[in-house]
Amino acid sequence: MSVDVLIVDDDAAVREALVQSLELAELNARAVGSFVAAKDQITPDFPGVILSDIRMPGRDGFYLLKYTMGIDPDLPVILLTGEGDIPMAVEAMGQGAFDFLEKPCAPDDLVAVLQRALTNRRLVLENRRLKARLEAGDPASRLIHGNSAPAEALRARIRAVAGMDVEVLVTGPPGAGVSKVAEVVHLMSPAAAGPFVKRHAAGLEAGALDDAFDAAAGGTLFLDDVHALAANAQYALLDRLEGGARARLIAGSTADLGAEVAEGRFNAELYWRLDVTPVRIPSLAERPEDIPVLFTRYVAQAAEQAGLPAPEVTTDHMARLMARDWPGNARSLMSAAMRFVLGMPDEAMAGADLGLADQMARVERSLLIAALSRQNGHASAAAKALKLPRKTFYDKLARYGIRPEDYRR
């Protein structure tokens, strides 16, 4: 039988009385006398709620609350407080506590609060299960991370092109994950059961191109850095596509192929053939609001890889991360996460000694640039997206020396 309520109280008589009251209300309760005894039971999939005294020797209720919020911020913690502890309990609400109850607590009031918390917990866990099932069948949600509008637009674009039986051109700045997006397109395509063959276009000759298509037969051939394909191989690739290929082609590039065509370095007909269904990956500068979720994920991965505990990412550290430009995009953010886990100094975090106002100014500047990038440099649309009056928006652009025309594509 699953536990509905985990009681944490150092007073044995109180524990016994609480268990009896909850059993009469048909709630399954388990009682322990300390944080140490409760710690191993506090997990992200714990199905119930926690009812804890505030004042306990050693690790008190506040420590338990902070620990629980670090494990799962959606796990309800209800604090039991004496009359003199009410200001502390109110403070705890601001730190994530679900509710607090003053001792002695009427059984009906206790059960009502616990039932409300249990309903909340069950909804959270059910939503997580549904999301996990959806993501298991949707590689775009599982592998393309971020909650911003550009991240969601990228996932939507991948889903839209994946089922089309045409070539795909994936572009993005260096380090943004062109290869990863190409593989997600493959995984969501009808050819997902076939091979995913990756080849770097630089130095690839016409004969090797034929071999690559043969190796990818029934699946997908991903040509990375297609802008570096030699001229004779570009013609050979176009001939192969027009003659019917045995594998779907996804081309990737960190260069502006339109500019490459204009400067005579890339075959115009091949470009038009590839550009029918383009997928553009936004830079981190266009979605700085995704940096916290990405960095947290990368820190967890780096800690597992290094066999070390994941260090806490402070609000100050995260603000400085969001204030950076990240020209290397996700790849450089991953490297920063590994250095952070290993405790290595990061010269790029030179803003460590900045005051709060300077750090917030950097974050504000990055959000303004992100909005302009998403709106193709249209200032009015960017101001509306940020819910700022136009004058306020233009004043901020002037303050930071930002020119909207620099973000038009």
| Statement to judge: residues 402 and 288 lie in one domain | yes
- Could you please report the per-residue DSSP string of 152-204? HHHHHHHHHHHTSSS-EEEE-STTS-HHHHHHHHHHTSTTTTS-EEEEE-TT-
We report the CATH number of the domain holding residue 52 as 3.40.50.2300
| Statement to judge: residues 61 and 178 lie in one domain | no
Q: Is the pLDDT of residue 350 over 60?
A: no
| Statement to judge: residues 345 and 363 lie in one domain | yes
pLDDT at 310: 86
pLDDT digits 0-9 by tens, 123-179? 888 888 767 665 666 888 888 888 888 898 999 999 999 988 899 999 999 999 999
Which of 11-15, 109-113, 383-387 is least confident?
383-387
Cis peptide before 195 (omega within 30 of 0): no
Q: For the chain, what is the mean pLDDT?
A: 87
| Statement to judge: residues 107 and 66 lie in one domain | yes
Task: Decide if 123 contacts 47 (C-beta within 8 A).
Answer: no
* Backbone region of residue 58 per phi and psi (left: phi > 0; alpha: psi in -120 to 50; beta: other values): left
- Could you please report the per-residue DSSP string of 133-151? HHHHT-HHHHHS---SHHH
We report the CATH number of the domain holding residue 270 as 3.40.50.300
For the chain, what is the domain count?
Answer: 3
Which phi and psi angles does 169 have, rounded to 5°? Answer: -110, 115
Instruction: Name, in order, each residue with C-beta under 8 angstroms of 409's C-beta and a sequence gap of 6 or more.
Output: 376, 377
pLDDT at 409: 60
pLDDT digits 0-9 by tens, 235-291? 999 998 988 778 999 999 999 999 999 999 999 999 999 998 999 999 998 888 888
| Statement to judge: residues 106 and 213 lie in one domain | no
| Statement to judge: residues 234 and 107 lie in one domain | no
State the average pLDDT over residues 73-88. 82
Q: Which of 84, 103, 134 is the last residue of a domain?
A: 134
Going by pLDDT thresholds of 50, 70 and 90, the confidence category of residue 352 is: very low
| Statement to judge: residues 23 and 75 lie in one domain | yes
The domain of 78 spans 5-134
pTM reported for the whole predicted model: 0.59
| Statement to judge: residues 124 and 148 lie in one domain | no
| Statement to judge: residues 274 and 312 lie in one domain | no
Q: Which of 253, 280, 307 is the last residue of a domain?
A: 280
Strands (E), 2-76: 5-8, 29-32, 49-53
pLDDT digits 0-9 by tens, 38-76? 998 999 899 999 999 988 988 888 899 989 988 898 999
**Percentage of residues of the chain with pLDDT beyond 90:** 44
pLDDT at 367: 78
pLDDT at 393: 87
Q: Look at residue 51 and give its three-state secondary structure.
A: strand
| Statement to judge: residues 13 and 115 lie in one domain | yes
**Dist. CA 98–CA 89, nearest whole Å:** 10
Q: Is the pLDDT of residue 103 over 90?
A: no
Which of 107-116, 121-130, 216-225, 364-373 is least confident?
364-373
Q: Which of 219, 249, 280 is the last residue of a domain?
A: 280
Task: For tokens 């007909």, name the residue.
Answer: 269
| Statement to judge: residues 121 and 242 lie in one domain | no
**Percentage of residues of the chain with pLDDT beyond 70:** 92
Task: Decide if 76 contacts 88 (C-beta within 8 A).
Answer: no
pLDDT digits 0-9 by tens, 283-321? 998 888 888 889 989 999 999 998 888 888 877 788 778
Which of 63-67, 309-313, 364-368, 384-388 is least confident?
364-368
| Statement to judge: residues 161 and 120 lie in one domain | no
Q: Of the candidates 141, 111, 156, which has an alpha carbon nearest to the alpha carbon of residue 18?
A: 111
